[in-house]
Chains A and B, each alone.
Chain A
Amino acid sequence: MTERDFHISAPAEVSTGNLSLHVKNQGPDSHEFIIVRVNGKLPLRADGLTVNEEALQSDNVGTLEPGEPGTVRDLRLHLTPGTYQFFCNMAGHYMAGMHGSLVVQ
């Protein structure tokens, strides 16, 4: 998966089971990577700029802290079939387009 300002490129579908995500930040900003099993609109905090992660705590399946531009981070997941959404939750990044969805079959 590739992160850049302000977009995350990822496959739309993957198979169920263990999944190893290679998240590459192509910058120029630092970016987070958070994946939640939510099918639908994500709730925002009161600032209107970031996703309310606290409300999605139970749906969170994986998080990568902010990574410097040029770095590649791995995230190992065990995904059951369903729809997942991923995003960067740094201030304004979600709203600027850094999000996507993944269907696990």
Chain B
Amino acid sequence: MIVAIFITISLFSAVSLTIFIGVTARSKNQAAIIEVSARQRTLAERYVKEVLLVRAGEPADPARTASVLARSARALLNGGVAPPMWGDDDATELKPATGSELRAQFAQEGRLVTDLTATGAGVVSGFTSNTLANSAHEHIIGATPLDQLQILGALTSNVSLNATRTLGADSDRNISHLVTLQVVLGIVGLLISLLLAGALIAITRRQTAHFRSLVTASTDLVLVFGAGECRYVSKSVATTLGRPADEMLGQGLIRFVHPDDQALVEAAWQQSESAGEIVFRMSTKFKEWRHLEACVTDLRKDRYVRGVVLNARDITERVQLEEELTHQAFHDSLTGLANRALFRDRLNQSLARSARSSEPLSVLLFDLDGFKLVNDTFGHDAGDEVLRQVGQLFVEVTRPSDTLARLGGDEFAILLEGADSTQAVAVADRLLEKLSEPVKILDRNFALSTSIGLVIHPGGPGEGEVIIRHADVALYAAKDAGRNCHRVFEADMARELRDVLGFEQDLRLGLGRGEFSVHYQPEVDLTTHATVGVEALLRWYSPTRGEVPPAQFIPFAEASSLIHLLGEFVLGEACRQTAEWRRQRILPDPFVMWVNISGKQLSDGGVSKLVQKALLAADLPPSFLGLEVTETAIVNQGVVSERASAELQELHDRGVRIAIDDFGTGFSSIGHLRRFPVDLIKVDRSFVQGVGHNPKDTAITTSLTNLAHALGLRAIAEGIESAEQLVSVQELGCDLAQGYLFARPVSADAMSKVLADDSAHAEPAAVPA
């Protein structure tokens, strides 16, 4: 737009100047014509005088004057050089006359000059006739040659004067036109320039308003600093901080910057080079800190800004989110306590300090005794609430400088920096004391306790992993000591633990190497003496330990969750074997393969799926399978596990038989039995062995058998080793029996043979000799 204005002004100026130059050049020519034309008058008059002088005998040279007159007349009409008048001026260069009127006048002048000089020549030569050449259409009649000469002189002079006037009038018109044209050009040029300037101003205003809107409406915060103070803050700054812009201009702004960030902000606007990005905090009207991330641009050399510009964004929410995420990454969402990662980090830092200062530190590792029961019985919501509440109780025991963490599940840990054994034991005692009172959750009182393992690090170098492992050993020792107590780690414990870990390792390896097998012990119907089922029994032959009885390795398996793998193995093998016998058509009818399910398997859940998967894999109808569960597995601390009950119920509904193993040893309530899907009760061998000679055992076995019958169940006596015991339990009314008297647990192949023989003879199997 500025270029357009410049071009317009230049164009109009050029046109005006060109016209002016043209007119000036023309005027210059006209001035020369006027000068020569005016001189013609003088020459005509001089010529007449010179003729008269010659006629009077005086010296004169009219012919010369006549020549100049004639040449000048031609030059005036057709252009050329008008000769100089002697002693007067120089020759004058003329352009051809323009304009019909002027050309007619000069042509007439030429003719009159011809007539004049002809007449003059006649007079000089003594010619007396009055008949003259009248090339100019003059009709002079009755005059003397002298009179004619004077008349022609006057006519010549007159026509020259007229030509001069015509030229003058023409010049006047030209000047008038020039002035008019210049005025018009000036006005038009000015108007166009004004229009363009107006458009330029409008565009500039619009652009300015546009950018102002962008700045003021933008959520970005714009601050401009110059000469050591704040010169401009955008509307968004005032909106974000809830402060009027006036308060922040000048030196005022720095007052609202966080004291820790003031040096950063001042450095940003004072240093000579761009500072890139900075993050600083400013307080709002409500005394809240907003985090601003600003891009600093040095525009002090920009003549339109002359300052340092901060383009800032409010990143408070982002910062808060980051802090929250960081907190979440290092804290337990349920209790708000530190998590395992943070605990490890604090422990490592603390150990690093201890290595330098030799200050002691202690670690307490503890979990809640019986917490699993709460979860299983009242659901996970109740369990979570217990964890929250006890977490708060633990907080009350610790100092702010201690790190209390929930490592997972119901496992907690406390790091006590600078604490020796006395202080650590005191904290452990307070923990136990805190949990001595029942915890009330959902209107129920929960009696909780904890087992605590302590590790006292005396100071100096140490490894966090080792300390935690030692704490775990101490915790194991506390549990082993009967729970609700604490134990300080000692080196002996580690050795014991290594034994435990070694056993577990052998178990794990043995499973992988196929060291486990399933043996089968028949169960006999005491009425028909027929084999009506077998109990699948797990056997482990370790190349290093030899034959290991289940009573030895099952507790380790249960402690390490290997029990799930073993359980799956036994179930899968038993189902597969039964299906094979079934295909071989050597199974008696009825027949049930009884498989033991451990308490841990039941409490951990998933038994129903596992059983169905095994049946499906072996293509075995559910009625061929029975599960033996111990009384204590389904009834724990007087409460039936709802989940276990539901799973067993589901399997029972599908046709799977359920037996209560070791019945009579668990102090269970008869009421629980009624709500439980049970088909068979196995009277524990400890009672059966006393039957016949121990009145109490006999009475108990009688009662249990009667109880089973009263509930519509069948009873089987375990551990029958003698004919006397067999007779006794028969007399007591037991339905089935199992024991060495009939058969020892045998391998699958041996059992196949027994079943095949029984099937061939169709006689009761394993009839006592």
Is B138 a contact of A29 with CB atoms below 8 Å? no
Interface presence of A90 (CB below 8 A): yes
- Chain A's nearest CB lies how many Å from the CB of B116? 11
- Chain B's nearest CB lies how many Å from the CB of A71? 10
**Chain B 134-153, CB within 8 Å of chain A: the 1/0 string?**
00111111010001001111
Residues of A near B138 (CB, < 8 A) are 5-6, 96-97
**Which single member of B137, B162, B166 contacts A6 (CB below 8 Å)?**
B137
Residues of A near B165 (CB, < 8 A) are 30
**Which single member of A7, A30, A91 contacts B137 (CB below 8 Å)?**
A7
Residues of A near B169 (CB, < 8 A) are 68
- Chain B's nearest CB lies how many Å from the CB of A85? 15
Is A28 a contact of B105 with CB atoms below 8 Å? yes
* Nearest-CB residue, chain A, relative to B105: A28
Is A5 a contact of B150 with CB atoms below 8 Å? no
Is B105 a contact of A6 with CB atoms below 8 Å? no
**Chain A 76-105, CB within 8 Å of chain B: the 1/0 string?**
000000000000001111011100000000
Known contacts A96-B140, A97-B140; A30 and B154 CB within 8 A of each other: no
Is B150 a contact of A96 with CB atoms below 8 Å? no
Q: Would you call the interface of chain B mostly helix, strand, loop, or mixed?
A: helix
Chain B interface, number of residues (Cβ within 8 angstroms)? 26
**Which single member of B101, B104, B140, B159 contacts A95 (CB below 8 Å)?**
B140
How long is the Cα–Cα vector from A49 to B45 in the complex, in angstroms?
A: 14
**Chain A 53-72, CB within 8 Å of chain B: the 1/0 string?**
00000000000000011100
- Chain A's nearest CB lies how many Å from the CB of B588? 154
Interface presence of B752 (CB below 8 A): no
* Nearest-CB residue, chain B, relative to A91: B154
Taking each of A6, A28, A70, A97, which has the highest tally of chain B beta carbons within 10 Å of its own beta carbon? Answer: A28
How long is the Cα–Cα vector from A64 to B150 in the complex, in angstroms?
A: 25
Residues of B near A69 (CB, < 8 A) are 101, 104-105
A1-42 contacts to B, CB under 8 A, are 4-7, 27-30
Interface presence of B158 (CB below 8 A): yes
B120-176 contacts to A, CB under 8 A, are 136-141, 143, 147, 150-155, 157-159, 162, 165-166, 169
Is B158 a contact of A28 with CB atoms below 8 Å? no
* Nearest-CB residue, chain A, relative to B156: A92
Known contacts A5-B108, A28-B107, A28-B108; A91 and B155 CB within 8 A of each other: yes
Is B101 a contact of A92 with CB atoms below 8 Å? no
Known contacts A5-B136, A6-B139, A70-B101; A28 and B155 CB within 8 A of each other: no
How long is the Cα–Cα vector from A30 to B141 in the complex, in angstroms?
A: 22
Residues of A near B153 (CB, < 8 A) are 92
Taking each of B108, B141, B162, which has the highest tally of chain A beta carbons within 10 Å of its own beta carbon? Answer: B162
Is A95 a contact of B108 with CB atoms below 8 Å? no
How long is the Cα–Cα vector from A90 to B155 in the complex, in angstroms?
A: 9
**Which single member of A28, A49, A70, A97 contacts B154 (CB below 8 Å)?**
A49
Is B101 a contact of A49 with CB atoms below 8 Å? no
- Chain A's nearest CB lies how many Å from the CB of B338? 118
Residues of B near A43 (CB, < 8 A) are none
Is A6 a contact of B104 with CB atoms below 8 Å? no
**Which single member of B147, B150, B152, B162 contacts A29 (CB below 8 Å)?**
B162
Using a CB–CB distance below 8 Å, which chain A residues touch chain B?
4-7, 27-30, 48-49, 68-70, 90-93, 95-97
Using a CB–CB distance below 8 Å, which chain B residues touch chain A?
101, 104-105, 107-108, 136-141, 143, 147, 150-155, 157-159, 162, 165-166, 169
Q: List 19 A-B contacts (CB under 8 A).
A: A7-B137, A7-B139, A27-B104, A27-B108, A28-B107, A28-B159, A30-B165, A48-B150, A68-B101, A68-B169, A69-B104, A69-B105, A70-B101, A92-B150, A92-B151, A92-B152, A92-B154, A92-B158, A97-B137
